[in-house]
Amino acid sequence: MDVHLKEITATGIKLSIQEDRKEVARAFLYLLYNDLNKEPFGFMEDVFVEEAYRSKGYGSTIIEALIAEAKKRGCYKLIGTSRHSRSKVHELYKRIGFEDWGVEFRMNLTKTQIPQ
């Protein structure tokens, strides 16, 4: 049995909010393609708001901007993942319109991981 490889190009977009020339919130949108759909799907990754700016609308603002960008780029769906321990983030995602759709499985492939 042979496994064939085909290079697929993806696009990454960083969205950020700055206050006094300091980045206080960020999120990444990756546009990914597969053979099942003509349109790309969006993957939302590394959504982060500096602690001093949390609960002030920055998270909602950056995610809503990311959703708008995904729609503008023709994504047929948007996926975001989150650790089980982040219940406040989950509440925010649901309030914005995300649904709890399944389970994420992860395997770390390097020994040097950024602390979460």
Q: How far is the C-alpha of 29 from the C-alpha of 57, rounded, in Å?
A: 19
Q: How far apart are CA 114 and CA 48, in angstroms?
A: 14
Structure tokens at 19: 């206050």
Helices (DSSP H) in 21-72: which residue ranges? Answer: 58-72
The DSSP symbol for 81 reads -
- What's the rounded Cα separation, in Å, for the pair 84 and 50? 20
Q: Which positions of the chain have pLDDT values less than 70? A: 113-116
Separation CA 12–CA 65 (nearest Å): 15
- Residue 116: the pLDDT is 55
pLDDT at 84: 84
Q: How far apart (Å, rounded) are the C-alpha atoms in residues 41 and 29?
A: 10
The per-residue pLDDT for range 64-85, each reduced to its tens digit, is 999 999 999 999 999 998 888 8
Could you tell me the pTM of the whole model? 0.86
Q: Looking at this protein, which amino acid is placed at residue 38?
A: K
CATH fold of 11-96 reads Aminopeptidase (3.40.630)
Residue 50: per-residue pLDDT:
97
